[in-house]
A and B are shown apart, each in its own frame.
Chain A
């Protein structure tokens, strides 16, 4: 059969010699230069340590603060039973002039006794109750008409006979609020009835769905806009004319600049612009998706095989047909794969931008953190972990199939 004749080039290649002398590698020496370099590095690290105010001992000293948060985070609020309460309200005047003895207030079969009826801020006070529901947790609150929230939160538990005693003192704040009549509320609460999803779980569920769809919306919107932009930023698609070069350069630069703006900043801007909520999140993530996926798209477009483009051109197809028949089939799989990848990334991002008004699970989470409702925050955190893990897994599988 036909065997290709040897070309002169091939003949020449075979005779190339490869016995160049190898250079000896210099011995490593501990020169002055190296010592100075080492000293500079040490100085730099010391400076960094100070600047970052690293205080590792705090981790141990403040461990008490961490324990309740961590325990709450490990016990997310998932299910509850219905809650029933028993409540007795005592009205007291504070500050006041003269004491006339203890106060007794009866209500709903129970009785609350205060050690004194004339109370001044800072005075100590004993509150005792009887005839209440036995073995039940309860709280004492001071509620003043001029204050929005409850002033003091004192916890107790009734004994087997339905009695309790709490030693406390009068909140200083009552004086600042103008005195007058203040309510001292005694509230017992206990679970009863059937198990159901807790309010936090229901809210988390709605919020995480909102997050997933917010991310989907942003990914779709961002990708659709990024597709034509990616063509403008692809070297092999833009014609090599002065105009083509200018458009290519400008698009690249615009993408690079936009990409350096953090989504968190974008979200803050849009939250002010279109007000708090998922739409602000969609806008922020869309913009960051355009910038990031636009670059990935254009690189995918640049790495396509030119052969089919040449072939379509040679049949007499116009440039639109070259793109549709030659470029598009080649970029669909990588583009889809990047889109799924970005949906995954956007779900993660949307949990963070929720803190600055982007809606979704991040908003719920930041709300619960501000209210120090760690059990509820834990529910949101776990939901995020599960969804991010699932998205990661699914996107990996789908992308594998696409390629």
Chain B
């Protein structure tokens, strides 16, 4: 269970990106974060694994305080939480396999991983995960030789190497075309349903959010303006979240 308690984030330049945000995520949930650009979705997700340090508030994962963890504890927590990024964040010049294997870094010993001495088990696991996302034949290609959709699947395979109990995804399909977006989202669904991994995913297409979320949290100017059932977002709520001028093209 993830507990976000009164979290605020003020950036160095004074921008208040999150303002007193609280919510909890039960195990096995598929939570989707929505909100306008700049509403604080990325900031929220990055606070959870402390790629960004929150200014105020606490975040607990399975009772363990992430916000006050020392570097060692933090790495311990991080390896249970996978993360997938909008721009994939692969090491472009490295092979697909090496990118996927780097997902094990939280578990391996530094010297052997630096020397490239991966265990047979890890290698097997990497191939398995690549097979799961359908690109095991690309294992030895350089990451930048793959298409966007394939690169994102490498990103997912990498996060799956952590055998995470929680998966964070920051707009994982925003740089993919709509047809691909759906197929990539299905991997998260599969992970959620078959392995029981909790998912917190930010999306900006409400249609996708409705299709995959078990719950939606909407942020507006750093505050939670909606937290509940995906199906209960009606016209009025939509305007609250996205502003008066916005129209939901995708569903009309």
Residues on A facing B (Cβ under 8 Å): 1-9, 11, 305, 307-308, 310-318, 320-321, 324-326, 329-330, 332-333
Contacts and interface: CB of A to CB of B under 8 A. Distances in A.
A314 B51 contact: yes
Given A321-B105, A321-B113, A315 B90 contact: no
Nearest to A5: B246
Interface string B234-252: 0000000011111111100
B78 A313 contact: yes
Interface string B73-108: 001111101110101111111100010001111110
Nearest to B162: A315
Contact of A313 (B51, B113, B162, B181): B51
Contact of A312 (B102, B247, B248): B102
B83 A311 contact: yes
B247 A5 contact: yes
B198 to A, nearest CB: 16
B242 A5 contact: yes
14 contacts: A2-B208, A7-B246, A8-B246, A308-B92, A315-B158, A315-B161, A316-B75, A316-B77, A316-B105, A316-B107, A318-B75, A320-B110, A321-B105, A321-B113
Contact of A315 (B78, B93, B205, B246): B78
Given A307-B89, A316-B162, A330-B93, A5 B249 contact: yes
Contacts of A315: 78-79, 82-83, 102-106, 158-159, 161-162
A317 B98 CA distance: 14
Interface of A is mostly: helix
Given A7-B243, A325-B98, A325-B113, 19 more contacts: A2-B178, A3-B250, A5-B206, A5-B248, A5-B250, A8-B243, A307-B89, A308-B91, A311-B90, A312-B102, A312-B105, A315-B78, A315-B104, A315-B106, A318-B110, A321-B113, A321-B114, A324-B114, A330-B91
Contacts of A3: 249-250
A70 B90 CA distance: 60
A320 B191 CA distance: 30
B88 A307 contact: yes
A11 B246 CA distance: 9
A311 B208 CA distance: 24
Contact of A314 (B78, B207, B244, B249): B78
Contacts of B206: 5
A326 B143 CA distance: 13
B60 interface: no
A6 B245 contact: yes
A8 B245 contact: yes
B36 interface: yes
